[in-house]
Structure 1
Amino acid sequence: MRTVVLTMKASVIEMFLVLLVTGVHSNKETAKKIKRPKFTVPQINCDVKAGKIIDPEFIVKCPAGCQDPKYHVYGTDVYASYSSVCGAAVHSGVLDNSGGKILVRKVAGQSGYKGSYSNGVQSLSLPRWRESFIVLESKPKKGVTYPSALTYSSSKSPAAQADLWSTATYTSSQNRPRADPGIQRQDPSGAAFQKPVGADVSLGLVPKEELSTQSLEPVSLGDPNCKIDLSFLIDGSTSIGKRRFRIQKQLLADVAQALDIGPAGPLMGVVQYGDNPATHFNLKTHTNSRDLKTAIEKITQRGGLSNVGRAISFVTKNFFSKANGNRSGAPNVVVVMVDGWPTDKVEEASRLARESGINIFFITIEGAAENEKQYVVEPNFANKAVCRTNGFYSLHVQSWFGLHKTLQPLVKRVCDTDRLACSKTCLNSADIGFVIDGSSSVGTGNFRTVLQFVTNLTKEFEISDTDTRIGAVQYTYEQRLEFGFDKYSSKPDILNAIKRVGYWSGGTSTGAAINFALEQLFKKSKPNKRKLMILITDGRSYDDVRIPAMAAHLKGVITYAIGVAWAAQEELEVIATHPARDHSFFVDEFDNLHQYVPRIIQNICTEFNSQPRN
C-alpha cells in the first residue's frame, strides 16, 4: 500500500515539473513574440522653455522656424532654463532653422549667462537663473531610457492643454472655458492627461508654482558686448503711409528685442521726424527690451515732410547728453530710416554729427524712380552722410516688404564696436599742430631727425577731414606756415608733406612762434576738435614765452614741449600744459627723440579717456 502511495506522489511531482518546464518555455516563446515598444520622440513647439519640462534629460524634436527673435534665448553654450529649447539648439549650432532632433540635459543654475549672436539667433545675457541646460546631438547614451512623453511643470503638456481648451464648453453667465471633469484625454505622445493637483481647471485656475513661473520673466542687464547708445531716427512723413509706418515700427521692435537692451549693454531711444523732429523717448526712459517694445507700439505717425537733415542736427545737439542718459564710455550711434529721399540737405548736418563722434547708419527704402529724380534735393545723399562709403554704414532695400531682412545685418553692425570708426577716440578727434624749431643750431641732419619724429607721431593717428587733422609751422626769428589743417586729408599726403619741409636756419623766437601758431593754425580749428600743439626746440628762446604760452592754455590748446640738447627745462615747463611732468620732455641728443613717441601717445590717450566722450 505504501509503495502505491509513493508511486502516486512521484507521478504528481513529475507532472508538476513537466507543467512548470512547459510553462517557462511557453513564456519564453511568448516573450519572443512580443516586440519592445518603439521609442517615440516627443515633438515640441519653438516657444517651449526648458524650465517647463521636469525631466532631467530628454530627446525632443523641434520644428522649423525657431530662429525667430520672439523665441527668447539666454546664454551661450549653457542656457538659462527660461530659454526656448529649440531656439537654444539653433543658437548652439546643433540644429539649423529647418528643425530636427536634439538631446537636452539639465544642469545647475549659473551666476551669469553671456549673450552672443550666433547662427542667426541673438542670445541675451542674464545675471543669474535657478536652472540651466545644454543642447547636444540626439545620440542616446547606452543604458539610458528617454521619456516618450515629457513631464511638464504643470503636469500637462502644451498639446493636452490646447486639446482641453478646444473641447471646453462655455456657460452663458461666465465667459470662460469649462471642461467635463469625467473626461480623461491623451496627448499625441500617448500620455494620459489628468487634472493637475491644486488646480481647478473648470475655473481656469493654475497652480501657484505655474503662475509664479509665468510671471517671473528675467529682466536682463543687457549685452555687455554691445554697449552702445543708440538713437533711431524714424520717418514719420505723410508720404510713408500708415501701413509702411507700421512695418517700420515692427523693425524697431525686432531690433529692440535682438539687441538685449539693458544698463550694462545697449540703450536705445527713438526720434521721429517730419516737418520737425521730436523725441519719443531717450536713452534712459526704457532700460529693457520688453518695456521698449511696448513703448514702440504706442508711437503714432506725425506726418509732414521728410526733413532728415534737420532731424540729424536735432539729434547732434540734443539727444546725446548726460541728462538724456548718454554714457561717456559708450559709442554714439544713429540709425536713420528714409522712405524715398529727404526733402532737405543732409551732408552738412551729417558731417557735424560725425565730427561730434556720432556713427551714422542709413537705411534707405525704395528710392526715387527715374521720373522722380529731378525732385531729389541732394543726389547720393546716403554716401554723403556716412563716414565710410564701404557699405558698412548704409543698407538699402527695394521694397518695404523686404525691410525685415535688414534686422540681422543691422544688429551685427551697430554692435561691432571695433568697426565704429566714427566714434571719438584719442587717435581720431584732434587738430594737431607741430611747431618746429628750424634755427641754425639744429643743423640739416638733426632737422631731418626732427621731421622723422614728427612722422612717427603722425603715423599713430587716424587722418582724414573728419578724423585727426595735422598742421605744421617752422620758426626761427620768423615763422612759416608749412601746411594748415585743411590742406591734406589723408595719411599718405600728410607724411609726404612732412618729408618735403625744408630746413630754414636762423634764430630762436619761440614765444612769437606760439602766437603765430595760434593765429595761423588753431584759429582755424573746428569747434568740436581737441587742439594739441607739439613744440620741438633745441635751445633757449630769444623772446619771452610766458604770455604766449598762457594765451594758448586759455584758448584750450593742450601744449606738449619737447626740448633737445640746449633747451631750457624751466622754459619747457612754462610752455607745457599743467601738469608739466605729463606734457614736457627733454632728451640730450636728437637721435633719442624717437624714444618718447610711445610715451607722448600714451599721455594724449590717457588724458582723452579721462574726459567725457561728447
Structure 2
Amino acid sequence: MRTVVLTMKASVIEMFLVLLVTGVHSNKETAKKIKRPKFTVPQINCDVKAGKIINPEFIVKCPAGCQDPKYHVYGTDVYASYSSVCGAAVHSGVLDNSGGKILVRKVAGQSGYKGSYSNGVQSLSLPRWRESFIVLESKPKKGVTYPSALTYSSSKSPAAQADLWSTATYTSSQNRPGADPGEMDSWKPGSVLLDEGLVPKEELSTQSLEPVSLGDPNCKIDLSFLIDGSTSIGKRRFRIQKQLLADVAQALDIGPAGPLMGVVQYGDNPATHFNLKTHTNSRDLKTAIEKITQRGGLSNVGRAISFVTKNFFSKANGNRSGAPNVVVVLVDGWPTDKVEEASRLARESGINIFFITIEGAAENEKQYVVEPNFANKAVCRTNGFYSLHVQSWFGLHKTLQPLVKRVCDTDRLACSKTCLNSADIGFVIDGSSSVGTGNFRTVLQFVTNLTKEFEISDTDTRIGAVQYTYEQRLEFGFDKYSSKPDILNAIKRVGYWSGGTSTGAAINFALEQLFKKSKPNKRKLMILITDGRSYDDVRIPAMAAHLKGVITYAIGVAWAAQEELEVIATHPARDHSFFVDEFDNLYQYVPRIIQNICTEFNSQPRN
C-alpha cells in the first residue's frame, strides 16, 4: 500500500513539473507573438509654435524650409514659446534648413529674450514671456516614453468647435475671422482668444496680444534708406527695391532699444515717407514699405543726401543721442547730379553713408555720367566696407545679409565719430593761491560751458579732471561718470585747493592718471587752464604729451606767460593757445575752442 502511495506522489509531482515547463514555454511563445508598439515620430509644420503643444517634452520631425523669416523666432538658446519650434531648431544649429528630428523640452518663462542672427535665421528680442523651451538633438533618454501623437492646446471635436466659434465673441492677435476654429478649445464666457490659447479677460493686463520686440540692442542704429524713385527704374525694379527694404526691416529686428528705420525717396526732389519714430517694429514697418508708390523724375542723389543731412536726423524725427546715424543709398545706374560735396558734409555731420549700386553705365552711356567713381567719393572709407555693387536687379537680394551685418557693426561705423562724440578730454586746472576762490568758480564755469558742447557717454566723449598746485589731485577719471548731468554735477563739486604752481608736474600727472587709461580709438584732448608762470619746467612734459598723441590746448589768464603757453600747446600754437586778461572773459573763448577742435577733426583724412 505504501509503495502505491509513493508511486502516486511521484506521478503527481511529475505532472506538475510537466505543466510548469509547458506553461513557461507557452508564456515565452506568447511573449514572442506580442510585438512592442513602434514609436512614431510626430511630424509638424514650420509654423507650429511651442506654446501650442501641451507636452512638456517631446520629439518631433521638422520639414525642410523652416529658415524662412516668416516663421518668427524669439530668443537665443532659450526661446519664448511663441516661437516656431522648427525655426528655433535651425537658429540653434540643431537642424539645418533640410529639416529632421529634434527633442524639445519646455522650461520656465524668462524675464527677457535676446535676439541674434545665427545659421541663416534672425531671432527677435522679447522683454518677457510666460513659457520657454530649448531644442536638443533627438537622443531619447533611457526610460523616458515620448508621445507618438502630440497634445495640442486645441482638442475639441469639430462639432463642438463649430458651435463655440459661432457663439463666441473673440479677439484674435492676428485679427483674422477665418482663423482655425480649433483655437477655441477651452473657451468660456469672458475669455479672449490669443495665439497661445484662451485667456480670461482679467488676465489681459499681463498678456500681450502679440509679443512686440524692443529691438536688437546689439544693433542700436538710426537708419535712413534713400530709395531710387526715378522714372527710369520702372515699376518692376521699384518693387524689387521695396522687397529688399522689407527684408532688411525683418532681419534687423526693429525696436526702440535696437535699430530704428525711416525711408526717403528721391527723384527730382526728395521726400520723407516716414521717419525714425513713425514705425517702431518690423511688422508695421514692412506694412508701410508695401504702401510706398513711385514718384518718378531724375536721380538727384546729391540733393537727397543734403536733404537727409539737414532734415532727417533730428530729435523731432526720432533721432537718438548715442545711436550711430546711417544712410543707405540705392542707385540705379548713376546719379544725375553731383554727390561728393553733399556726402562730405554728411560725413562731417557724423553720418555713415553706404551705397548700393545696381547695374551701371554701359560704355556708350558713360558720357552722360555727371561724376565718375561717385560711390568712392561719397562713402566714408574706400575699403569696400561702405559700398556694395550688383550687376543686375535680380541679384539685389544677395546684398541683404552683408548689408545687415555691416550696418550693425557699430565698431566699424567710423563716420559716426564726430568732433563732439569721439574724444577723451582731460581738464588740467590751476588751483594755486593766486587764483582765489571766486575766480576758481569762474574757471569751473568755463569748464562746464565747454563740457556742455560735447555728447557724453561711455561710447561717446568722456571727461576727466585734475587740479594742481605744488601737488596734483585727480578729481575724477574718464570712467567715473557716463552722462552729461553727472559730469556737470561733478565739476560743480570740485573744491578749491590753493598752493603753488607746478604746471610741468601737473602735465605728467595727467598723462599718467588720465590719458594712460584713455581708449585706443579715442582722440585725446588736454585743456590746461593756468593764471601764472610755472615753478617747474614745462618743456619736457609738454613734449611727452605731444609724442603720446595728446592734443593740448593751453589757456592762460592774468599773469600767465605767453611763451610758456605756446610751449605747452600743440602745433600750431596760434590754434591751441589762448590768453585773456581777466577770468570773467574766459567764456568768450568757448565757441572758438570748440570750432578749432572740430576744424582739426574734420581736416583729418577720411579715406
Fold agreement, TM-score > 0.5: yes
276-285 vs 499-508, greater mean Cα deviation: 499-508
The corresponding residue for 1:43 is 43
User: Is contact 1:449-1:590 (8 Å) kept?
Assistant: yes
Percent identity of paired positions between Structure 1 and Structure 2: 98
User: Is contact 2:171-2:194 (8 Å) kept?
Assistant: no
Output one character per residue of 1:378-421: Cα deviation in whole Å (capped at 9) or x when no partner.
Answer: 11111111011111111111111111111111111111111111
384-393 vs 531-540, greater mean Cα deviation: 531-540
Superposition deviation, residue 301 in structure 1: 0.8
User: Is contact 2:126-2:213 (8 Å) kept?
Assistant: yes
- Residues 29 and 428 of structure 1: CA distance in aligned 2, closer, same or farther (over 3 Å): same
Residues in 1 aligned to 2:180 and 2:200: alpha-carbon distance in whole angstroms: 19
Residues in 2 aligned to 1:260 and 1:99: alpha-carbon distance in whole angstroms: 25
- Residues 118 and 606 of structure 1: CA distance in aligned 2, closer, same or farther (over 3 Å): farther
Superposition deviation, residue 217 in structure 1: 1.6
- Residues 308 and 27 of structure 1: CA distance in aligned 2, closer, same or farther (over 3 Å): same
- The answer for unaligned runs of 5 or more in structure 1 is 183-193
Superposition deviation, residue 15 in structure 1: 8.3
Superposition deviation, residue 127 in structure 1: 0.5
Residues in 2 aligned to 1:472 and 1:55: alpha-carbon distance in whole angstroms: 61
Residues in 2 aligned to 1:181 and 1:519: alpha-carbon distance in whole angstroms: 72
142-151 vs 261-270, greater mean Cα deviation: 142-151
SS of the equivalent of 2:335 reads coil
Superposition deviation, residue 12 in structure 1: 11
Superposition deviation, residue 30 in structure 1: 2.3
- Residues 285 and 249 of structure 1: CA distance in aligned 2, closer, same or farther (over 3 Å): same
- Residues 51 and 202 of structure 1: CA distance in aligned 2, closer, same or farther (over 3 Å): closer
- Residues 131 and 493 of structure 1: CA distance in aligned 2, closer, same or farther (over 3 Å): closer
Superposition deviation, residue 568 in structure 1: 5.9
417-426 vs 276-285, greater mean Cα deviation: 417-426
Equivalences for 1:1-400 in 2 at 5 Å? 22=22, 25-155=25-155, 216-400=209-393
Residues in 1 aligned to 2:175 and 2:109: alpha-carbon distance in whole angstroms: 40
User: Is contact 1:42-1:149 (8 Å) kept?
Assistant: yes
Superposition deviation, residue 244 in structure 1: 1.2
523-532 vs 18-27, greater mean Cα deviation: 523-532
Superposition deviation, residue 473 in structure 1: 26
User: Is contact 1:69-1:257 (8 Å) kept?
Assistant: yes
Output one character per residue of 1:49-91: Cα deviation in whole Å (capped at 9) or x when no partner.
Answer: 1111111111122222222222211111111111111111121
Superposition deviation, residue 28 in structure 1: 2.6
User: Is contact 1:236-1:273 (8 Å) kept?
Assistant: yes
- Residues 99 and 212 of structure 1: CA distance in aligned 2, closer, same or farther (over 3 Å): farther
- Residues 600 and 351 of structure 1: CA distance in aligned 2, closer, same or farther (over 3 Å): closer
Superposition deviation, residue 94 in structure 1: 1.4
Superposition deviation, residue 97 in structure 1: 2.1
Superposition deviation, residue 257 in structure 1: 1.1
Superposition deviation, residue 156 in structure 1: 8.1
User: Is contact 1:156-1:196 (8 Å) kept?
Assistant: no
Superposition deviation, residue 370 in structure 1: 2.0
Residues in 1 aligned to 2:448 and 2:200: alpha-carbon distance in whole angstroms: 74
Structure 2 residue 580 is matched with structure 1 residue 587 = yes
- Residues 529 and 245 of structure 1: CA distance in aligned 2, closer, same or farther (over 3 Å): farther
300-309 vs 485-494, greater mean Cα deviation: 485-494
- Residues 471 and 203 of structure 1: CA distance in aligned 2, closer, same or farther (over 3 Å): closer
Output one character per residue of 1:554-573: Cα deviation in whole Å (capped at 9) or x when no partner.
Answer: 99999942789995699989
425-434 vs 480-489, greater mean Cα deviation: 480-489
SS of the equivalent of 1:352 reads helix
SS of the equivalent of 1:104 reads strand
Residues in 1 aligned to 2:137 and 2:585: alpha-carbon distance in whole angstroms: 62
19-28 vs 509-518, greater mean Cα deviation: 509-518
Residues in 2 aligned to 1:361 and 1:482: alpha-carbon distance in whole angstroms: 42
The corresponding residue for 1:464 is 457
- Residues 87 and 562 of structure 1: CA distance in aligned 2, closer, same or farther (over 3 Å): same
Output one character per residue of 1:232-289: Cα deviation in whole Å (capped at 9) or x when no partner.
Answer: 1111111111111111111111111111111111111110111111000000111111
Output one character per residue of 1:538-587: Cα deviation in whole Å (capped at 9) or x when no partner.
Answer: 97599999999999999999994278999569998999999999999999
523-532 vs 14-23, greater mean Cα deviation: 523-532
- Residues 167 and 334 of structure 1: CA distance in aligned 2, closer, same or farther (over 3 Å): same
Output one character per residue of 1:426-477: Cα deviation in whole Å (capped at 9) or x when no partner.
Answer: 5886999999999999999999999999999999999999999999999999
- Residues 29 and 161 of structure 1: CA distance in aligned 2, closer, same or farther (over 3 Å): farther
Residues in 2 aligned to 1:174 and 1:79: alpha-carbon distance in whole angstroms: 21
- The answer for unaligned runs of 5 or more in structure 2 is none
SS of the equivalent of 2:382 reads coil
548-557 vs 105-114, greater mean Cα deviation: 548-557
Name which of 464, 479, 486 aligns with 2:472: 479
CA RMSD of aligned residues (A): 13.8
Output one character per residue of 1:317-367: Cα deviation in whole Å (capped at 9) or x when no partner.
Answer: 000000000001100001111111111111111111011000111111111
Residues in 1 aligned to 2:490 and 2:363: alpha-carbon distance in whole angstroms: 44
User: Is contact 1:350-1:386 (8 Å) kept?
Assistant: yes
User: Is contact 2:266-2:299 (8 Å) kept?
Assistant: yes
User: Is contact 2:313-2:319 (8 Å) kept?
Assistant: yes
User: Is contact 1:357-1:423 (8 Å) kept?
Assistant: yes
Residues in 2 aligned to 1:173 and 1:397: alpha-carbon distance in whole angstroms: 39
TM-score (norm 2): 0.65
Residues in 2 aligned to 1:159 and 1:360: alpha-carbon distance in whole angstroms: 60
Residues in 2 aligned to 1:479 and 1:200: alpha-carbon distance in whole angstroms: 69
SS of the equivalent of 2:465 reads strand
Residues in 2 aligned to 1:523 and 1:364: alpha-carbon distance in whole angstroms: 44
Residues in 1 aligned to 2:14 and 2:475: alpha-carbon distance in whole angstroms: 124
Residues in 2 aligned to 1:489 and 1:537: alpha-carbon distance in whole angstroms: 27
Residues in 2 aligned to 1:156 and 1:560: alpha-carbon distance in whole angstroms: 79
386-395 vs 463-472, greater mean Cα deviation: 463-472
SS of the equivalent of 1:291 reads helix
User: Is contact 1:177-1:203 (8 Å) kept?
Assistant: no
- Residues 369 and 199 of structure 1: CA distance in aligned 2, closer, same or farther (over 3 Å): same
437-446 vs 492-501, greater mean Cα deviation: 492-501
**Aligned length, in residue pairs:** 603
Residues in 2 aligned to 1:207 and 1:498: alpha-carbon distance in whole angstroms: 55
Residues in 2 aligned to 1:472 and 1:199: alpha-carbon distance in whole angstroms: 59
SS of the equivalent of 1:309 reads helix
User: Is contact 1:225-1:415 (8 Å) kept?
Assistant: yes
SS of the equivalent of 1:391 reads coil
Superposition deviation, residue 204 in structure 1: 16
User: Is contact 1:177-1:202 (8 Å) kept?
Assistant: no
User: Is contact 1:328-1:613 (8 Å) kept?
Assistant: no
User: Is contact 2:66-2:86 (8 Å) kept?
Assistant: yes
Residues in 1 aligned to 2:4 and 2:514: alpha-carbon distance in whole angstroms: 137
Output one character per residue of 1:276-307: Cα deviation in whole Å (capped at 9) or x when no partner.
Answer: 11000000111111111111111111111111
Output one character per residue of 1:112-167: Cα deviation in whole Å (capped at 9) or x when no partner.
Answer: 01111222221111100011011111111111111222222213899999999999
400-409 vs 562-571, greater mean Cα deviation: 562-571
Residues in 2 aligned to 1:326 and 1:337: alpha-carbon distance in whole angstroms: 22
User: Is contact 1:168-1:180 (8 Å) kept?
Assistant: no
User: Is contact 1:153-1:210 (8 Å) kept?
Assistant: no
56-65 vs 435-444, greater mean Cα deviation: 435-444
- Residues 347 and 467 of structure 1: CA distance in aligned 2, closer, same or farther (over 3 Å): farther
SS of the equivalent of 2:236 reads helix
TM-score (norm 1): 0.64
The corresponding residue for 1:440 is 433
152-161 vs 458-467, greater mean Cα deviation: 458-467
Output one character per residue of 1:6-57: Cα deviation in whole Å (capped at 9) or x when no partner.
Answer: 9999999998997786455334312213332322222222222111111111
SS of the equivalent of 2:195 reads helix
Residues in 1 aligned to 2:457 and 2:204: alpha-carbon distance in whole angstroms: 59
User: Is contact 2:221-2:323 (8 Å) kept?
Assistant: yes
